[in-house]
Amino acid sequence: MRTRFSSPPVCTQPTTPRWTGWWPTPRPAATWCSGRDRLRRSTRPARREVQPARLAEPAGVSYDEFSNLSADLPVQAAPGSPLRLPSDAAGTRWAYGVHAQDAEVPAGYRHPHFGRWAAVTTRPYGAGRITCVGTIPNPGMATALFRRLVPDAGSWGGMPTGVTSTGAVTADGRRLRFLHNWTRQEIAVTAPTTVRDVLAGAAPAAGAELRLGPWDVRVLLEMQ
């Protein structure tokens, strides 16, 4: 639906589902125009908080624009950055126009327009650190990010391709390990420590081979 202005039109009201802010909306999203033009036919109240809401100050970032991406957007490490990105690192689907206020910028976009914004920011906060990623990273970028964010993955690092390993702590302080096989092939994983299979009841020793069927999951309780 085209919006009519007394001067030549410079924008239109979108009529298809779009991403706006953090949540998808199935209704027409409002359009912001520059100069004398104005917000027309808003379907929801304007957000008064600086985005990302509640995280802007502790993360040291802000944004008020984003863009859908019709193609992968190359991402590169900033000069002197400790982040090591592969040559094919890229953002996919969309990118927020993230402005770093007092956060470090370890990576940006390699693009004449999007290059003005940060692809990754990080800032110490409390006893930890808040890292913001302004796009959906492709596999190469995501792998590099997690290797930097979690440099010591412990004895469960280095899973075969297609297998993910995640952990949790029980209420009594014991360590749980979740292995997911996201492929259609059976894959074997070596247990680095003695575990008990919560679902099957078996107790493989350290060094035992754990076999995961296609699309399989193992829930393990670490015994050491």
Residue 1 has pLDDT above 90, yes or no: no
Domain span at residue 160 reads: 154-222
Backbone angles phi, psi at 142, to 5 degrees: -60, -40
Residue 17 lies in a domain: yes
On whether both 34 and 65 belong to a single domain, the answer is no
On whether both 106 and 123 belong to a single domain, the answer is yes
Q: Which pLDDT belongs to residue 207?
A: 87
Q: Which pLDDT belongs to residue 158?
A: 77
Residue 49 lies in a domain: no
Secondary structure (DSSP) of the chain: -PPP-SSPP------S-EEETTEEESSPPPB---TT---BS-SSPPP-SPBSTTTHHHHTEEEEEEEE-SS-EEEEEPTT-S----TT-EEEEEEEEEEESSSEEEEEE-STTGGGSEEEEEEEETTEEEEEE-EEE-HHHHHHHHHHHSS--GGG-SPPTTEEEEEEE-TTSPEEEEEEE-SSS-EEEE-SS-EEETTT---PPTTPEEEE-TT-EEEEEE--
Which token pair is 33?
Answer: 């125009």
Task: Please tell me the total count of domains within the chain.
Answer: 3
Residue 141 lies in a domain: yes
Backbone angles phi, psi at 116, to 5 degrees: -75, -15
On whether both 139 and 160 belong to a single domain, the answer is no
Residue 11 has pLDDT above 50, yes or no: no
On whether both 164 and 131 belong to a single domain, the answer is no
On whether both 113 and 179 belong to a single domain, the answer is no
Q: Find the mean pLDDT for residues 194-205.
A: 90
Confidence of residue 147 (pLDDT cuts 50, 70, 90): confident
On whether both 120 and 199 belong to a single domain, the answer is no
Which token pair is 133?
Answer: 């990623």
Residue 51 lies in a domain: no
User: What is the dihedral angle through the alpha carbons of 212, 187, 157, 76, rounded to the nearest 10 degrees?
Assistant: -120
- What CATH number is attached to the domain comprising 174? 2.60.40.1180
On whether both 71 and 15 belong to a single domain, the answer is no
Q: What is the pLDDT of residues 30-77, one digit of tens each?
A: 333 333 334 444 556 667 888 888 999 999 999 988 999 999 999 999
On whether both 109 and 158 belong to a single domain, the answer is no
Higher-confidence residue: 20 or 79? 79
- What CATH number is attached to the domain comprising 70? 3.40.50.880
